[in-house]
């Protein structure tokens, strides 16, 4: 199962997300659930880099973590909010269709 963990502040801004695990929907290379989660996640980190100047992520097999720097300027924060909110919408849509293989958890700090 893939677990997507999102950390938000009280205003709803996403400061961090972590994706961990493998879906197990099909074998490696044929797993559309894993491919969907990966596509949404890599689109988000690519957009963060291109539009907000944030390249603070790490990844390895079955794992990705992205954090937003605490000293982010308002312009970049605006773009980051839109990008990350859209990413979570995509992840929740995948969870809705494939909830046996993906779970989205949100935490408020």
pTM across the whole model: 0.94
Residues across the chain: 109
| Domain region containing 14 | 2-106
d(CA 58, CA 53): 15
CATH number of domain containing 93: 3.30.70.1490
pLDDT band at 20 (very low <50, low <70, confident <90, very high): very high
102-108/63-67 β-pairing: unpaired
Write the pLDDT tens digit of every residue in 60-82.
Answer: 999 999 999 999 999 999 999 99
Q: How many structural domains does the chain have?
A: 1
């Amino acid at each position: 199962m893939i677990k997507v963990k999102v950390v938000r502040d009280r205003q709803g801004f996403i400061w961090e997300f972590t994706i961990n695990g493998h879906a197990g929907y099909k074998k490696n290379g044929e797993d559309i659930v894993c491919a969907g989660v990966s596509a949404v996640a890599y689109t988000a980190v690519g957009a963060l880099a291109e539009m907000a100047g944030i390249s603070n992520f790490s990844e390895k097999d079955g794992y990705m973590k992205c954090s937003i720097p605490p000293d982010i300027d308002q312009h970049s924060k605006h773009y980051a909010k839109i990008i990350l909110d859209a990413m979570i919408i995509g992840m929740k849509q995948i969870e809705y269709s494939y909830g046996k293989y993906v779970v989205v958890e949100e935490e408020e700090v």
